[in-house]
Structure 1
Amino acid sequence: MRKIVLVALLPLLAGGCISTVGKVVTAPVRIVSKGVDWTTTSQSEADRNYGKKMRKAEEREGKERKAAEKACRKNPDDCRPYDGYRAGQSRDD
């Protein structure tokens, strides 16, 4: 009789244990996948970062061009075409 009662109550008693065991078993997979998400960059993140980088480069070029034009207005004899930083080009070009 005890065995029947124990077997009948086992699913109720083990319900929480089974879900806990499932969480423990899948924890390493979830931890690794979260780490991969943190270390990799999605295409949308890469596009956003590239756009931000280009806007900063264009802002830098604009400031340098403005300073070159101002210097040219102050001293027109030393005025040459702008040959400073250009957004989108590396320094090696």
Structure 2
Amino acid sequence: MRPTAIFICPILALILGGCVAKTVVGAATAPVRAASKVVDWTTTSQDEADRERGREIRRREERLGRLEDDYRELEEDCLDGDDSACREAVHMRNEINHLRPSVPVESDDDD
């Protein structure tokens, strides 16, 4: 029984030594990995920011388009003599003027 223990002890030491070392390294790097995950979750990547900006611009463009359509209708009603339509058209024009600078203009390159 004694000779078997002599052979098994060095083998166990090698096997367990690797396990212990791996556990120690894993425990030492765990806080760093956890911190990097938290930073990743709490920050917005440039790609995510670009997508969100694109969505916001599309929302503004759609809102501007609806306002301009409604404004044209109110303008026609105003020209037909509807005073309340004239007042609404003034308010809507102010909203359009406020929104327009935040919507980028695409150039028409027909060259």
TM-score higher than 0.5 here? yes
Q: Secondary structure at the match of 1:20?
A: helix
Q: Which structure has the larger Rg over C-alpha atoms?
A: 2
CA distance in 2, matches of 1:87, 1:50: 16
2:72 is aligned with what amino acid?
A: E
**Count of residue pairs the alignment pairs up:** 89
Match of 1:64 among 64, 67, 77: 67
State the TM-score, normalized to the length of structure 2: 0.64
Q: Which has the higher helix share?
A: 2
**Cα pair 1:61 1:87 within 8 Å, conserved:** yes
Shift of 1:10: 0.7
CA distance in 1, matches of 2:100, 2:9: 76
State the TM-score, normalized to the length of structure 1: 0.73
For the aligned residue pairs, the C-alpha RMSD in angstroms reads 2.6
Moved over 6 A (4+): none
Identity of aligned residues (%): 34
CA distance in 1, matches of 2:63, 2:38: 35
Q: Does 1:84 align with 2:99?
A: no
